Structure 1
């Protein structure tokens, strides 16, 4: 489809939607005014207990948008949206019925944010000639994660890659480039009961220590009847990194000390970690796996809907080799004809993503660097020991081409080769529904 046709169709769609909204508004105005009541709306925020006594910034709920949506049959076509609480009238008149009133922090809740995001909703029944007061209580929807490095850790290691993975399409990543990372506000979504911490670190003596440990909310040293096993909004996690040394002073491992503060509690409690590397006695490190080890940590395969707007904000592959990266070759198999047409014409420094053409080597690839600059990234350089490949930079192309064909996915095949000739490979798949 030509772009001019796409623009024409998009414009027509906008006018159609605007007409539908006007029709709904007119329909609402024809409702029998004798069968109406009034709503007086307010918004408040319930902060986690641990934030109410220290360093919690003031929250101006007057900036929160408000939505009033009919939920009972007689009013289910009525939706009233207000840009901010401050802009809406002191009271609004609506037909009798049941409504859901919702509000939230301005903007959209993202997987990773730099500040808390609050949201809430409540049900109210409007009766004839009665004014009902409604207060929407917004609770914190995301959770605070703070990673701290002990002085022993910073002294012992010269390089590291740490990922904090909740099993979703995106993981937090930390390296030695930021020794004092800021707190991250993370949206866990539903049914996250465990978090995995993966570490690859190079000691100042040249040895590499790897570790993978998991912690679960249910294992917290103290728990409460009202606290479930899932990580939820309002929880605050503090993850402290330290070292394990042998009797001779050699670094043999990494300690991960994790504490959680529940939303309605003021004191933090410890969460023990478990993993394959838990040992009764520390062991001397094996020789530097930089002499042959390649790491390729892919995000979980993704399925999302364009119409529902559920596309992930990002999807990152974590690549590392202490020997230095020599090649990162990517080939793409299209899940529909429209994306296949794009791939036929899409080249990166003269290389094609099509498998029959050999794929694209991302190392020092200027065109690829321009592509991922849109998401704040760069192309990997020859000899780099680590790289975060932002596969999500391709989602713009994928969304343009619509749903994948039944039984098909967009497949990103990645092969990593280091300076020692060691390789790792994997496939990341994306399924898109309308």
Structure 2
């Protein structure tokens, strides 16, 4: 059925747009007139004498809004509406009646809308048909049902958390917002010890539909039958056992551990309890459903579902509940008759959404296979507001690397995670970059943060984030725009072992009156409490950088030297303004490990030849340039490549020696040098047709695999030397040459400095050579690689049975070119 009413036409326009004094409309205006009709029909509804009467059209509310949202007006009663004058455009006209979110017998509501185009000097007629925007549910009982039970009632629970009770004589229909509905019957039968609650039917209600549920009993089979609607195409009937045995069977029962159902426990916001916080469920007839209904603004904001069946979770729901600390056992696909729900680890995710305390409610309700329903178990948690707050300074100095903030927290401040924003993404402060000190008041702290780079964004400020449990604070503080700033243009890459490049910039407001040059600006360093001019400084006008040299005095191989610097602007030779202080530490003057090759140890290895005349297996010593059980090994050798594999003569193993050993007689200083030799191995006992292999000796910074090949190249390193020096002695065979290379790499693998000796010449006495470095990029060094080879030939030559010192004693072998290295040194200015 429809009821229609038209808006009253009038020459008096209540305009959404303004009018002129002469009451003439703008040349770009039109009008809107509205008619509203109602259609109270419902799908699957029966025609009944008691059918509700549609409300009066004048009781409907009306709203008109432009597509861009700039023009809007509304009327609480359509009876007050008159055609309106509006600017040309598209408008949405909406009519409504009742509360769209209410549920119950008196919760009837209507809604309708339409879009109209308003043209110049035209009247657009908006025709709005309003329909019931809810579902209606009607319950009824057959005489057999009424005679089987001595008393009965029902209620319907909605997904909005409402519970609408139907008395035993209720014939009206109740209205529900579309969504999931659950039907519960509370019945008592003579001979059954107590009232039983059943949950025989759940369904999804759609808008503008009527659902009729008829309760019937077949006494001969002791079964409850629910006829769902009368239309065979939409019937969804159920058949449930209601024998005395089934009704007397115990309903599912919850037991609480660590709390009392309905009584709130109090926890500090972001913390948990030390004892259990569990719900134990026993369903002797077997579980069918376990509902969890949650009321918590904090969990809702984190994606926790408000109502779920813990036995039928989606993947997304399961992941979210687990992520937020809920643990269950005995539910899901492998459920049985008992189950456990553990809430303990959920507590840290509960926080207060206002300045006061918050209450979070978890309701558990179980249904067994007989549709019997447990009593609700209610866990209430009151989170006490911990006062978590961070007070940031309004400004910090330009170029500063620290920021000090005030912290308020009733709890452990060590559990807070602090973040800075880098390249648009939050990065967590490391523990060493946070200093938390107690304040003068309880629960008050002073926190100093050290940023990885100077704070220089004066336009956008610095974003800051703090997180305690599930509660997050995000703030922004500003950076001052100083008259003069001192900084490292390229960060730490501008600080070397003996020098540093500094940038001095005048602020925008003072730039016109301050020219940066060597005559107007000087760099000073702090010596105790006194500021002194750095003695070795220069300015490059092309790069705009000051160069400080002569730094790093007193640096070790592992530690650099720290300085506090500032820039001073001078007028007529006198200081007129100062920059902020800048702290930096030079690179250490690092060296490679075992650079003098004094550290060695020996390992014995057998090789594949027959035993000697006495049946003893054959062994040879290998010499490795690091101490036994050394934790930090720098060098690798290819000695395993000289393992004898083809010789079968038992008396010729003396000809097998490692390519790398040490020498005590040929060295630059100390007791030893490293001796890298070409060694030949093969079937020496075979007069003809024997196979002989010669291999150049090789050492490198890195590791070797079981075959003596490179497993890795390089070792961690943090300094940038100017050059490399080493002593060498070379005795080649057949005019061969040796090879050497060094590489310094950045963290991304880029080689930023290198040098090599492609064809090293003979040197009988021994000499020291120096190789300079030129750095291609201004980056920090992350690793160093070095390699030495006794020959550049693929098949190097060798002498027959040469006797020479190997590891402190004369030994005979087939030896080719010999390269000795000692006293490797990385030089810094």
TM-score, normalised with respect to structure 1: 0.52
Asked whether the equivalents of residues 154 and 183 of structure 2 are also in contact (C-alpha less than 8 Å), the reply is yes
Structure 1 residue 41 and structure 2 residue 28: aligned? no
Q: Could you tell me which of 111, 125, 130 is aligned with 2:103? A: 111
Structure 1 residue 179 and structure 2 residue 149: aligned? no
Matches within 5 A, 1:312-391: 329-332=262-265
Match of 1:206 in 2: 192
Match of 1:288 in 2: 248
Asked whether the equivalents of residues 330 and 415 of structure 1 are also in contact (C-alpha less than 8 Å), the reply is no
Q: Could you tell me which of 197, 206, 224 is aligned with 1:254? A: 224
Secondary structure at the residue paired with 2:27? helix
Shift of 1:58: 4.3
- RMSD value over aligned CA atoms? 4.8
Q: Distance in 2 between matches of 1:60 and 1:78?
A: 28
Secondary structure at the residue paired with 2:212? strand
Report Cα offsets for 1:258-311 as digits up to 9, x if no partner: 206xxxxxx786512347x47xxx86624624xx54667xxxxxxxxxxxxxxx
Q: Could you tell me which of 124, 149, 154 is aligned with 2:146? A: 154
Structure 1 residue 141 and structure 2 residue 127: aligned? no
Asked whether the equivalents of residues 98 and 110 of structure 2 are also in contact (C-alpha less than 8 Å), the reply is no
Shift of 1:84: 1.0
Shift of 1:188: 3.3
Secondary structure at the residue paired with 2:146? helix
Asked whether the equivalents of residues 244 and 253 of structure 1 are also in contact (C-alpha less than 8 Å), the reply is yes
Secondary structure at the residue paired with 1:29? coil
Q: Distance in 1 between matches of 2:261 and 2:301?
A: 26
Secondary structure at the residue paired with 1:271? coil
Q: Distance in 2 between matches of 1:117 and 1:141?
A: 6
Q: Distance in 2 between matches of 1:423 and 1:46?
A: 41
Secondary structure at the residue paired with 2:120? coil
Shift of 1:51: 7.2
Aligned length: 283
Q: Could you tell me which of 69, 76, 86 is aligned with 1:83? A: 76
Asked whether the equivalents of residues 110 and 133 of structure 2 are also in contact (C-alpha less than 8 Å), the reply is yes
Q: Could you tell me which of 47, 62, 70 is aligned with 1:66? A: 62
Secondary structure at the residue paired with 1:34? coil
Q: Distance in 1 between matches of 2:268 and 2:233?
A: 47
Matches within 5 A, 1:221-260: 231-246=205-220, 252-259=222-229
Q: Distance in 2 between matches of 1:205 and 1:171?
A: 29
Match of 2:377 in 1: 425
Q: Distance in 2 between matches of 1:181 and 1:334?
A: 44
Match of 2:116 in 1: 124
Q: Distance in 2 between matches of 1:255 and 1:156?
A: 12
Asked whether the equivalents of residues 68 and 81 of structure 1 are also in contact (C-alpha less than 8 Å), the reply is yes
Q: Distance in 1 between matches of 2:188 and 2:36?
A: 50
Asked whether the equivalents of residues 60 and 96 of structure 2 are also in contact (C-alpha less than 8 Å), the reply is yes
Q: Distance in 1 between matches of 2:210 and 2:375?
A: 39
Q: Distance in 1 between matches of 2:32 and 2:15?
A: 20
* Higher RCO structure, 1 or 2 (CA under 8 Å, sep 6+): 1
Asked whether the equivalents of residues 263 and 379 of structure 2 are also in contact (C-alpha less than 8 Å), the reply is no
Q: Distance in 2 between matches of 1:424 and 1:119?
A: 36
Shift of 1:46: 1.1
Q: Distance in 2 between matches of 1:429 and 1:149?
A: 41
Larger radius of gyration: 2
Q: Distance in 1 between matches of 2:382 and 2:95?
A: 32
Asked whether the equivalents of residues 110 and 132 of structure 2 are also in contact (C-alpha less than 8 Å), the reply is yes
Structure 1 residue 272 and structure 2 residue 236: aligned? yes
Shift of 1:111: 2.7
Q: Distance in 2 between matches of 1:241 and 1:231?
A: 19
Matches within 5 A, 1:303-318: none
Asked whether the equivalents of residues 144 and 183 of structure 1 are also in contact (C-alpha less than 8 Å), the reply is no
Q: Distance in 2 between matches of 1:415 and 1:188?
A: 23
Q: Distance in 2 between matches of 1:144 and 1:169?
A: 17
Asked whether the equivalents of residues 152 and 243 of structure 1 are also in contact (C-alpha less than 8 Å), the reply is yes
Shift of 1:81: 0.8
Secondary structure at the residue paired with 2:139? strand
Q: Distance in 1 between matches of 2:380 and 2:155?
A: 18
Match of 2:88 in 1: 96
Q: Of Structure 1 and Structure 2, which has the larger fraction of its residues in helix?
A: 1
Q: Distance in 2 between matches of 1:27 and 1:57?
A: 34
Shift of 1:95: 0.5
Asked whether the equivalents of residues 330 and 414 of structure 1 are also in contact (C-alpha less than 8 Å), the reply is no
Asked whether the equivalents of residues 119 and 141 of structure 1 are also in contact (C-alpha less than 8 Å), the reply is yes
Asked whether the equivalents of residues 46 and 137 of structure 1 are also in contact (C-alpha less than 8 Å), the reply is yes
Shift of 1:429: 8.8
Bigger Cα displacement from structure 2, 203-212 vs 179-188: 203-212
Instruction: Identify unmatched segments of 5+ residues in structure 1.
Output: 1-24, 217-229, 261-266, 297-326, 341-354, 357-390, 417-421
Secondary structure at the residue paired with 1:122? strand
Q: Distance in 2 between matches of 1:161 and 1:99?
A: 49
Match of 1:21 in 2: none
Asked whether the equivalents of residues 412 and 428 of structure 1 are also in contact (C-alpha less than 8 Å), the reply is yes
Asked whether the equivalents of residues 33 and 126 of structure 2 are also in contact (C-alpha less than 8 Å), the reply is yes
Q: Distance in 2 between matches of 1:430 and 1:161?
A: 34
Secondary structure at the residue paired with 1:285? helix
Q: Of Structure 1 and Structure 2, which has the larger fraction of its residues in strand?
A: 2
Q: Distance in 1 between matches of 2:202 and 2:363?
A: 30
Asked whether the equivalents of residues 38 and 54 of structure 2 are also in contact (C-alpha less than 8 Å), the reply is no
Shift of 1:246: 3.1
TM-score, normalised with respect to structure 2: 0.29
Asked whether the equivalents of residues 66 and 84 of structure 1 are also in contact (C-alpha less than 8 Å), the reply is yes
Asked whether the equivalents of residues 332 and 411 of structure 1 are also in contact (C-alpha less than 8 Å), the reply is no
Q: Distance in 2 between matches of 1:154 and 1:129?
A: 67
Q: Distance in 2 between matches of 1:207 and 1:329?
A: 26
Report Cα offsets for 1:50-85 as digits up to 9, x if no partner: 5788534143111111100111x4xx2111111211
Q: Distance in 2 between matches of 1:102 and 1:108?
A: 13
Asked whether the equivalents of residues 207 and 285 of structure 1 are also in contact (C-alpha less than 8 Å), the reply is no
Q: Distance in 2 between matches of 1:153 and 1:119?
A: 38
Shift of 1:127: 0.9
Secondary structure at the residue paired with 2:177? coil
